[in-house]
Chain A
Amino acid sequence: MSAFDYAVIMPKMSMTMEEGELLAVRVNVGDSVKSGDVLFDVATDKIDMEVESPADGVVKAIMGQIGSTMLVGAPVLMLETATQVMSFDFNTPAPEVEAVVEVPAPVAVAPVVVAPVVSLESVKAVPKARVIARERGIDLASITPTGPDNTVTFEDISNPQVAGAHDARKAANRKMVAASIEKTRTIPQITLSRFSSHTTASLDQGSAHLVATWARILRRNTHLNLSTITEDLRTHVGVALIMESKYGLAMPVFKDPDLMPVAQLVEWIKSTRQQSRAGKVPLEMLSGATASIFDLSDTKISAAIPLLLPSHTTALSVGAPNAAFGQSEISLTVDLRYCDSLEAANFLDQLVATL
């Protein structure tokens, strides 16, 4: 049987854990270990835990420094094992050392799958789904939950047609977005871009600052705060934030976001993102926007040309900070029937200055 390398990583032991301290390593290079043997000890601000070997094997290398603080997902030691270990990433980025893991040669016998250690808080599932997962050796974390509160339902695990239905809805959603963009293509518009050196603690916080700042600019410039379809001035300021949804993209509208404490807006955006991922954006948040914002700051995309949505006067996008010089590119598209290009440049400058 062929042997291959498997990196044992700093595990994520709670929902909030981002890093852990390597307290001790209980094995030496060259040691043979059995599945379940303790390999190393980890301390977090909440819990101290022994990390066990996921499989039988030999310790090939120890990368972790005792006493050092390591990010979740960082490799602590390398195990040479004949068992194909299912890697389970707890929704964190895969460790970069994954590249050194040899591709196992095809083997005659079916690979033994070591059941990943799934903490109860990480996956919610109805009892029947758990029974099926156990019987068929399915990793519940690999199933996309569609039930209330992100729970894996019976249908999610048992009926592949669900995925088909989701795909159909996604396709319909995509079509609808494309059709609406098509309507705004003939509008005279201009897109301006500039770099900004602002930094943010999290995606939600960054989005909140953008949404609130842009809403403030719209509030001061009422001629921009109207529906380009009816030409009625709006009594509120609504900014749509483009976000991931269970069905592709969603554009929930945050009304008067500049009139509430930032912390409250951050929470609102955060909970809306969760609802959106579950495909449940509240109905009252689906209309009433003057502008849209496409926040790509947590991706690797440097810039996107923002597209006007029907009835909107402005659209903004923010790219990821550039790795070399740390600045993000902000782009603004305006409807030239309501705003001239130099005015737009001024608004973009105001936005960057505030951020």
Chain B
Amino acid sequence: MSRPNTRTLSLKALSLKAALLGALLGTAALLPGAARADEQYFPLQSYRVGPYAAGGTGFFGGFIDYLTLVNNRDGGVNGVKLTWDECETQYEVERGVECYKRQKNRPGVAAWNPLSVGIAYAMIDDVGRDKVPLITVNHGRTDSTDGRVFKYVFPLLLNPYSESSGIVNYIGTREGGLEKLKGKKIVVLYHGSPYGKETIPIYQLLAEKYGFSVEQVEVPHPGNEQQSQWLSIRRTKPDYVVLRGWGVMNPVALKTAQKVGFPADRIIGNVWSNSEEDVIPAGDAAKGYTAITTQASGADYPVLQEIAKTVYGAGKGNLDDKKRIGSVYHNLGIVNGILNVEAVRIAQDKFGKRTLTGDEVRWGFEHLRLDPARVEALGAKGLFHSINVSVANHEGEGRVTFQQWDGAKWKVVSDWIAPDWALLRPIIEKSSLTYAAEHGLQVRDPAAEDASN
């Protein structure tokens, strides 16, 4: 290794940098220019590569399929055509940020849907400044449920706290009433990551409230070895195990449970342990396993039928593998599509049938009220229950249901269950108000906003 002369810094560095910048600006100019006046644009920070590709292809596939359906069937929303493009993030935060800065320059952005907590966190500041809604369906920052503080962030349908409460309520119904939970023993097996640990205090709280005992056991990432955890579970002899897993941890948990003789129908999966990709690798061991979901799976719902017929029939479907139509992630993408499109429609009723600004779409999300009748009219009866978003409540009181894996497909085994929102709200508000104080944000007054609109 020769010792280079450090003094010859850097005209070359400059010229290289200038060349790179020039090339970059040149390519930027190549990009498609302004959207036409009657278009509404959905920037998709998708991930089709990397460890989470299974979720990404399903979710964004479903989202795109629904947007295609609306364009083909109705010619868009009231004549406003829906457009989108994809930017690959691989679920990495800095790639998501780059995509955000790149895609936001196209006009007519309706809403952002990154499906990644990390990316969503990094965008919260910017969406507030750019005044465009950020949708984190079924996940996201729990305290962003408080729309008084997080004006542009919407953890639609379900946040992690509601999910935990929904699971406990379901176990209650299986035992024949919440009061029967007293003296029961529940083990929560969680992924050793920030995501996995997020609900530890909530299960504590629920255990105190209903008088069951809870033991929370960590599985280090990625979770492909769980022998010791399950041996200790066997010693504890719990009534139920809640599986709060992610990726490879889920099938391994089910297989190991079978090995130590813990029955699968006493394992309840959370919202990231509920897909076909989680159970099929476990084979036989997954039979009887039950998991929470906000959207039932299967392709029997009218909207799915339409997508299968008109979108896939015309060869315009987004999934490579048609067998995945109606799978958990695909249906989540479709439900997410319905919620986004309906928010645009509701906002159009107020602001006019044209390309809306992000702030106008935000208003649409804050008035996104789809009762079961409207859901049925959209062809999604049974696919999801209802949503009722308001200025103060950006989650929208999504109901949950439970599906059991019969070895070949998911079968719904419960009614639509409501989490105990009233119990969780004070904790959420405490956290959101702390955030508001730290960041010098004004807390909005829902009554005043509703009156002025």
Q: Do A and B come from one complex?
A: no
